[in-house]
Homo-oligomer: A and B are copies of this chain.
């Protein structure tokens, strides 16, 4: 029988009533003839509670014990979901990560899935079981210890199962009804997209759209898993939500598919760096080792033999970045006059695979911002994305203006 993967996030299984509601959805797909693999998160709030316990117990915790503790919530939901399905006469059982086993790397709290054997669950499907409920977010290391995949990791679990079992589709049930052209809380003209390309979703996810974990989209793109994002709080039709799929499956689209933003960006400028070959490595090596997620990088020549180097990173990593660069300066690895941090910026991005074939997108973007009197501080571009750093106070205005300029409220 064809296999479907259905993933329910924390808000979708927050209470026994919601678990029942989710189980009914599963029952509908079973009655259509699917064997279903259900991936569940912890009941909403549970994981935060467990993380709180760990942080209070041991601020510099052993990540192996952290994983052993915080994986408990998913196990509870998995068992309850299996019981709920059984109550509805749907043959089901639960699996914890180590039982499948979901084999991962040993990088605790940020493990990557390496292998998901299918024999165990497929044998049960062959015997008449219709639903395998799997605890998301967790796996087991080569050393036999419990690992977790990082926050939002259940999305990745779901996609990995869909890839391993050759599922027809991977449905991600969440508390929003799909992917929007931008955040509806900021732009009321925001429109739900019926389809979006993997590449676009990837940019949007890494730009702060919290609908899907970035790695789950990467994985879906690599294995060409059809990913559907839809709400567990609304009645569903077969084409509800947003389908994240390969470019070829999208007939027509706007040049720009969405406007993303990130409020928590900081702009860091190293003033008057000695300009020599290898200077970029000398700066960004220590930052990487310190765990600073550098995003945009811009280099300006300021005077003979010296340069200014600007980069952006999340606001809460500014202190870490400053320490790492000061240490590199002390070690004589890098020489700069001053380090200036501007934490009053935001990043706004336009994303769309249509940019590849259509010119003028950047020009439209810059003109729009200029017309609104918004100064651009840093620009970075990729094949399907243009990002700018601007003053944070203009963020909402910029998002609305760009949404209008690219006519995202209208279907292509």
Contacts from A to B (Cβ < 8 Å): 16, 19, 50, 53-54, 56-58, 61-62, 64-66, 68-69, 71-73, 75-76, 78-80, 82-84, 86-87, 93-94, 96, 98-99, 144-146
Partner of A99 from the list B19, B66, B145 (CB cut-off 8 Å) is B145
The residue of chain B having its C-beta at the shortest distance from the C-beta of A57 within the complex is B83
**Residue pair B144, A56 in contact (C-beta under 8 Å):** no
**Residue pair B69, A86 in contact (C-beta under 8 Å):** no
The residue of chain B having its C-beta at the shortest distance from the C-beta of A68 within the complex is B79
Task: Answer whether A19 and B57 are a contact pair too, CB < 8 Å, given A62-B82, A64-B93, A86-B62.
Answer: yes
Q: In the assembled complex, which residues on chain B have CB atoms less than 8 Å from the CB atom of A99?
A: 144-145
Task: Answer whether A65 and B53 are a contact pair too, CB < 8 Å, given A75-B72, A99-B144, A145-B99.
Answer: no
Number of chain copies forming the complex = 2
CA of A66 to CA of B61, assembled, Å: 31
Q: In the assembled complex, which residues on chain B have CB atoms less than 8 Å from the CB atom of A54?
A: 79-80, 83
The residue of chain B having its C-beta at the shortest distance from the C-beta of A49 within the complex is B76
CA of A144 to CA of B140, assembled, Å: 15
Task: Answer whether A94 and B76 are a contact pair too, CB < 8 Å, given A53-B16, A57-B87.
Answer: no
Task: Answer whether A58 and B83 are a contact pair too, CB < 8 Å, given A53-B16, A99-B144.
Answer: yes
Task: Answer whether A76 and B62 are a contact pair too, CB < 8 Å, given A98-B98, A99-B144, A99-B145.
Answer: no
Other contacts beyond A16-B56, A65-B83: 10, CB < 8 A: A16-B53, A53-B80, A57-B87, A62-B82, A62-B93, A64-B93, A65-B79, A65-B80, A65-B86, A96-B146
The residue of chain B having its C-beta at the shortest distance from the C-beta of A19 within the complex is B57
**Residue pair A87, B68 in contact (C-beta under 8 Å):** no
What distance in Å separates the Cβ of A216 from its nearest Cβ neighbour in chain B? Answer: 25
Q: In the assembled complex, which residues on chain B have CB atoms less than 8 Å from the CB atom of A16?
A: 53, 56-57
Task: Answer whether A58 and B72 are a contact pair too, CB < 8 Å, given A64-B93, A66-B79, A79-B65.
Answer: no
What distance in Å separates the Cβ of A72 from its nearest Cβ neighbour in chain B? Answer: 4
Q: In the assembled complex, which residues on chain B have CB atoms less than 8 Å from the CB atom of A146?
A: 96
Rank and list the top 6 A-B pairs by shortest CB-CB distance, nearest first: A69-B79, A68-B79, A58-B83, A72-B72, A65-B79, A57-B83
The residue of chain B having its C-beta at the shortest distance from the C-beta of A71 within the complex is B75
What distance in Å separates the Cβ of A22 from its nearest Cβ neighbour in chain B? Answer: 12
Q: In the assembled complex, which residues on chain B have CB atoms less than 8 Å from the CB atom of A57?
A: 16, 19, 80, 83-84, 87
CA of A98 to CA of B19, assembled, Å: 27
CA of A86 to CA of B61, assembled, Å: 9
CA of A109 to CA of B345, assembled, Å: 57
Q: In the assembled complex, which residues on chain B have CB atoms less than 8 Å from the CB atom of A82?
A: 62, 65, 68
**Residue pair A62, B75 in contact (C-beta under 8 Å):** no
**Residue pair B58, A68 in contact (C-beta under 8 Å):** no
Q: In the assembled complex, which residues on chain B have CB atoms less than 8 Å from the CB atom of A144?
A: 99
CA of A94 to CA of B82, assembled, Å: 27
Q: Most chain-B CB neighbours within 10 Å: which of A76, A86, A87? A: A76
Can you give 11 contacting A-B residue pairs, CB < 8 Å?
Answer: A16-B56, A54-B79, A57-B83, A58-B86, A61-B83, A62-B82, A65-B86, A65-B94, A68-B94, A96-B146, A99-B144
The residue of chain B having its C-beta at the shortest distance from the C-beta of A74 within the complex is B72
What distance in Å separates the Cβ of A59 from its nearest Cβ neighbour in chain B? Answer: 9
Q: In the assembled complex, which residues on chain B have CB atoms less than 8 Å from the CB atom of A76?
A: 50, 53, 69, 72
CA of A80 to CA of B93, assembled, Å: 29
Q: In the assembled complex, which residues on chain B have CB atoms less than 8 Å from the CB atom of A66?
A: 79, 83
The residue of chain B having its C-beta at the shortest distance from the C-beta of A146 within the complex is B96
